[in-house]
Amino acid sequence: MGIPEKIKAIQDEMARTQINKATEHHIGLLKAKIAKLKREQEANQIKKSSKKSDGFDVKRSMRRAWEGPTTFYGKSTPRAERYKRIYEEIYGKKAPTYKK
């Protein structure tokens, strides 16, 4: 019995099972089994279709490295100095300041 047949058998059992408070746990276990089988099926497909390669691809994201304030107006002096130092280390240029 292959993975698709097991998934079909579990789905048939879920269709036969009456849904109420007494059977919620059983339904949850069946859903977990289906999820596990689907993951295994996907892993098997990846193994079959993948070819040998030297490296791997790294997904790039648009996340910024700097998560602090863009200006330091209104910050206490020690905190502002720390942010400025970190900003200069990351970007290699002088931190922006707010002038009145």
For 5-56, the pLDDT digits (tens) are 999 999 999 999 998 999 999 999 999 999 999 999 988 887 777 665 555 5
Residue 98 has pLDDT above 70, yes or no: no
What the block records as the tokens of 64 is 């910024």
N-term to C-term CA, the chain: 75
- Whether residue 13 lies inside any domain: the answer is yes
In terms of domains, do 71 and 41 share one? Answer: no
In terms of domains, do 45 and 71 share one? Answer: no
- Whether residue 57 lies inside any domain: the answer is no
pTM of the complete model: 0.48
Residue 25 lies in domain: 3-49
- In angstroms, the CA 80 to CA 88 distance is 12
In terms of domains, do 16 and 41 share one? Answer: yes
Question: For residue 79, what are the CA distances in angstroms to 32, 82, 83, 89, 93?
Answer: 48, 5, 6, 15, 18
- Whether residue 56 lies inside any domain: the answer is no
Of all helices (H) and strands (E), which one includes residue 15? helix 3-16
Number of domains in the chain: 2
